[in-house]
Amino acid sequence: MKKSILSVFAALLIAFSCISPALPKADAIDLTKNRNVYTDLDHSYDEVIRDALVNGVEDLTDDKYGLFKATYQRQYQYILFSTPELVGVKDFVREYYLKDDATRRYFAVYQENRDELVAEFRARLPEVEAEIDELIPDGVSNYDKVHIVHDYLAQTNVYAKTMLDSDTVDHYIYDASGVFVKHYAVCQGISLAFKYIMDYLGIECALAVSNNSDHAWNLVKLDGEWYHVDVTADDMWYDVLGHMHHKYLCVSTETMLKNATSRSDFIVIADDYNIVFNDATCATSKKYETDQPWANSCSSCHYYGGDLYTLGSDAGLYKNGELYFMPDEHMRWHPYGNIYANYTGDFYGAICGVGSTIYMLSPKNLYEIDLTTDKKTIIYSVAEDAKSGTQIFGLGRVEGQLYITLGVDTPKGDETWIPVDVSTNSVKTKIKLSEMTGYSDAVWTVIAEYDADGRMTSVKMQAVTATLRLDPVTTGTRKIILLNAAFSPVSTAAAG
């Protein structure tokens, strides 16, 4: 009974918040003199507490953990925000048995499916590291690596606003498993995932957290200077695949606070808890804030062969700032409807690169560009018999799989993520079952495959669909199709 009561209490602590647990108020501290507020803790117990949490220990009352009434929550907060590999932990709860407080017990509260989540997370980490290694070419600077990781996380993660606004919040959205396993997280999980990759790359990284703005982001140290990096804020169209900004990529404290004044109370959680993070001396450089070729890009960038490829504001592909390729058709879209947008302006096109290949979309075509030969090939086109106004809005690569999203007229943020088989140049597209006689929407899923010319080549169906990990909530669920049966003939009704 004790465990269930503690679990309910912990769940109440995190409801409707982007940060878990809530941070201590620091009203009496002059944060401009030192924003690292964990310097006063006894850190000699950090490793034993960290090991206990990593291994799922519930009762941490033993003296060997060094927990005290006055500081135990702050000890937990420091370890949580400095340990990105720690997943499945909800909160610390102190439980009293005697009225005089003489007897105190401390418990860690874990997510109900912690063991399964931890196993998935640990299995995913080598894959994440391999994906990062694949994206980062030899010889690039640490700044370039930060840029690549920024774009990788913005492209592969959906901000969990739908879940956050719902009555049921799964705690994985607050840790790195939400990003790496579910691809569905809030700012805290995104920041911890960013730190995990920075740690893997050997780049000094810290978390920054603001109570006022209920927000978390990162700081990185490059050539002796600290810079702010906020992947969440730059992933401004929460549910539109592959679109992002670079407004908060390696900026100074002055610039960051100019753009987001509510964050003035931010604190820093650094591995080096003795560091003095002073506004007068830390994160003052504006080295990367001007004359960057990606400044107006609304898509990820790509490094290859010592060159930087970016999407320009005219929807053209640029190489080191010079126009490299302009699709025959391009357009600017403005998000409307039920889209969750952190930025209300227009966006245009998208690119996604891996090695010597860049994929690039226009409203009607998906291009494959070979950077070694400069060959541009259309590998998918919107079918001529598709619903009027159907366009390709999103493009991204998640866990090695390339996806596009199709929609009508303007993106709504709820488009289905459609896997692209680049080896056969086919796209698996859901067909509305209402257009077919004798089958039920609740039972069957139908897909069609198209060739490079947009002609439907085959239709397959199955009795079961599986929810894609990108968005596990019921509203707006994206589906990935599991092929287990083929049939013919069937209607080749236009895909909607």
* pLDDT tens-digit profile, the chain (496 residues): 333 333 333 333 333 467 776 565 555 567 888 898 888 888 999 999 999 999 999 999 888 988 888 888 888 989 999 999 999 998 888 776 655 555 678 899 998 889 999 999 999 999 999 999 999 999 999 999 999 999 999 988 888 877 877 777 788 899 999 999 999 899 999 999 999 999 999 999 999 999 898 899 999 999 999 999 999 998 866 667 888 888 899 999 999 999 899 999 999 999 988 888 989 889 999 999 988 877 778 888 999 999 999 988 888 899 999 999 998 776 655 554 444 444 444 556 789 998 999 999 888 899 999 999 999 999 988 888 888 888 888 888 888 889 988 888 776 666 778 888 776 555 544 333 333 333 333 334 444 454 554 444 554 544 333 323 333 332 333 333 322 333 332 333 332 2
Element (H, E) at 311: strand 307-311
Specify the pairing of strand 375-381 against strand 479-481: unpaired
Are the C-beta atoms of 425 and 367 separated by less than 8 Å? no
Are the C-beta atoms of 89 and 172 separated by less than 8 Å? no
State the CB neighbour count (10 A cutoff) for residue 264. Answer: 15
Residue in this structure with the two tokens 């952190």, named with its chain if needed: 342
The predicted pLDDT at position 363 comes to 85
Q: Both tokens of residue 274?
A: 């003795």
DSSP state of 99: T
DSSP state of 179: I
The predicted pLDDT at position 169 comes to 78
Give the Cα separation of 496 and 491 in Å (integer). Answer: 14
Are the C-beta atoms of 459 and 488 separated by less than 8 Å? yes
The predicted pLDDT at position 46 comes to 92
Whose CA is closest to 22, among 5, 32, 10? 10
C-alpha gyration radius of the chain: 24
Helices (H), 308-455: none
Give the Cα separation of 180 and 65 in Å (integer). Answer: 30
Q: Both tokens of residue 78?
A: 């420091």
Whose CA is closest to 433, among 418, 453, 447, 417? 447
DSSP state of 334: -
The predicted pLDDT at position 294 comes to 78
Give the Cα separation of 186 and 173 in Å (integer). Answer: 6
Are the C-beta atoms of 193 and 153 separated by less than 8 Å? yes
Specify the pairing of strand 158-159 against strand 184-185: parallel
Are the C-beta atoms of 94 and 105 separated by less than 8 Å? yes
The predicted pLDDT at position 120 comes to 95
Are the C-beta atoms of 335 and 341 separated by less than 8 Å? yes
Give the Cα separation of 268 and 275 in Å (integer). Answer: 10
Contacts 24+ apart (CB under 8 A), 74-77: 74/24, 74/38, 74/41, 75/41, 75/45, 75/46, 75/49, 76/21, 76/49, 77/21, 77/23, 77/24, 77/38, 77/269
Residue 101 phi/psi, 5° resolution?
65, 10
Are the C-beta atoms of 244 and 233 separated by less than 8 Å? no
Give the Cα separation of 250 and 289 in Å (integer). Answer: 7
The predicted pLDDT at position 356 comes to 93
Q: What pTM value is reported for the model?
A: 0.80
**With 0-12 CB in 10 A as exposed, 13-18 as middle and 19+ as buried, what is 97?**
exposed
Q: How far is CA 240 from CA 180, 237, 265, 346, in A?
A: 18, 6, 31, 12
Q: How far is CA 374 from CA 319, 324, 356, in A?
A: 12, 9, 10
